[in-house]
Amino acid sequence: MPEHTGEFVPISWVRPEKSKRTAKGSRWRFLRRIREIGLSATLILGMAVAPALAQNLGWEPIKPLPPNPALDAAKVKLGFQLFHDPRFSDDGTVACASCHLIAQGGADRGRRVSEGVRRQMGEVNAPSVLTAAHNFHQFWDGRSPNLEDQVSHVLANPREFASTWSAVIQRLSRDAGLVSTMRAIYGEAPSRKNLSDAIAAYQRSLPEISRFDRFLRGESSAITAEERQGYEKFKSYGCVACHQGVNVGGNMFQRLGALGNYFADRGMPETRADLGRFNVTGKESDRYVFKVPSLRNVALTAPYFHDGSAATLEEAIAVMFKYQLGRAAPAEDQRLIVQFLRALTAQSLEKSLGSKP
């Protein structure tokens, strides 16, 4: 454990002496350190608890979208092609774009669950791909660590593409045009690695700033007064405890129903998908735990939650208040929060937002 606290952590360039501390001693010291920090920071903690003060310090829990990484335009273009290519699915009926409509928010046109090959229904609501590049894990249960790996999961899922890489590569290799394009870019024939790479590159090109990003960057007039108020409510009610960071979520897991039994009240039979991260880790503590979804473009991606049970933002916000915050909020506050969430829409897609409620 470092011997230093605070912003600056000088790192010894000399290798530290071998630690002879026992785990117990280490633990004790660690706790003592926490206590020291805690005591010395009581005042600051107080400030953190007081949202107004925090805001005065310019201490925003949501971070503006960084510029997209420099990408090979040819790869992005190829990724776009592949994203729309139904040959990835077993019967050639489904492409990535079938369930992730970029122009409509990157999710599936208001469907609770999506349709895979042979008209099978999926298990969870299709999340938006627009800012998937900023998620710390992919899928509701976070079973995939990155965009490249994610492709294989969709491809192999029997309810989604129900395919295999060898079959896909075989199909794609018959396309002379595609093969020559891939050879030009990767210097090799289509493979799991380069196909995944191209699709990931395309998805990394998708994030687009919203008016709220402009606000965060100092353009205070970028959002309306109501939206601003909604943001304050969003923070003060504690939504921001989970929906924070660059992606307004997407960087942590949380149990659905932290302060109430969501599934008992839902009125729908429990499915395997409802177990969430438990399906990945098998840990009892991960039962009903899901990745906190990003709220960017959330106004475009109804219905909500992994089960698509909330048809509207208002409904979703109400559920969140009840089961995640364990408190009630006036309808006006919730309305303001909806306004704020609509300001998180990518600017070019704002025109497809419905009229304000």
Partner 1 sequence: MNKLFSSRILKGFSGILIAAAAIAFLAFLATNSRDAAPQARANLIAHFLKLREINARLDVNVLRSRNGFNSDYDPLQEGLQSMQEIRAQLDTDLERVGIQAPEAARALDEAFARKSASIDDFKAANAIWRNSLRYLPTLVESIGQNPRADTALRLQTSEIASGLFRFGLLSDTDTAALRQLLDALPSSLDAYLAELLQGFRIHGETILRQSEREAELLATLAEIPVARCIDLLQENLEFSFTAQAERANFFRDILTVYSALLLLLILYIGARLARAYRQLGLANHQLNEANETLEARVEERTRDLNAALSELKASEAHLIQSEKMASLGQMVAGVAHEINTPLGYVRGTLEFILHTLGDTLEPYCVRVSAFIAGILGKPANDSENQAPAPLDAELLPELRMALDNSLYGLDQIGEIVLNLKNFSRLDRGQYTLYRLEEGIDSALMLAKNLIKHRAIIKNYGDTSPVFCAPSQINQVVLNLITNAAQATTEEGGTITISTRMKGNDTVVIKIADNGTGIPEDVVGRIFDPFFTTKEIGKGTGLGLSIAYKIITQHKGKIQVFSKPGKGTLFAIELPVETGAASEAPALAEDMPLLEDD
* Per-residue tokens: 291: 């990745």
Residue 253, H or E segment? strand 253-255
Distance CA 300, CA 286 (A): 29
Active site residue 160: yes
Supply the DSSP symbol for 350.
Answer: G
Distance CA 292, CA 294 (A): 7
Supply the DSSP symbol for 289.
Answer: E
Residue 47, H or E segment? helix 42-49
Please state whether the peptide bond connecting residue 303 to the residue before it is cis, i.e. omega within 30 degrees of 0. yes
Residues lying near partner 1 in the complex (CB under 8 A): 1-2, 4-5, 9, 11, 13, 15-16, 18-19, 23, 26-27, 30-31, 33-35, 37-39, 41-42, 44-45, 48-49, 54, 59-63, 136, 238, 241-242, 244-246, 251-255, 258-259, 281, 285, 289, 325-327
* Per-residue tokens: 177: 């045009």
Q: Please say which residue, 30 or 73, places its beta carbon nearer to partner 1.
A: 30
Supply the DSSP symbol for 270.
Answer: -
Contact 343, 227 (CB under 8 A): yes
Contact 209, 65 (CB under 8 A): yes
Distance CA 193, CA 207 (A): 23
Q: Please say which residue, 9 or 264, places its beta carbon nearer to partner 1.
A: 9
Q: Please say which residue, 167 or 325, places its beta carbon nearer to partner 1.
A: 325
Least gap, CB of 194 to partner 1 (angstroms): 18
Least gap, CB of 237 to partner 1 (angstroms): 8
Least gap, CB of 136 to partner 1 (angstroms): 5
Q: Please say which residue, 51 or 106, places its beta carbon nearer to partner 1.
A: 51
Least gap, CB of 192 to partner 1 (angstroms): 18
Least gap, CB of 119 to partner 1 (angstroms): 36
Q: Which is catalytic among the residues 160, 270, 284, 315?
A: 160
Q: Please say which residue, 59 or 270, places its beta carbon nearer to partner 1.
A: 59
Residue 292 Rama label (left phi>0; alpha psi -120 to 50; beta): beta
Residues with active-site annotation:
160
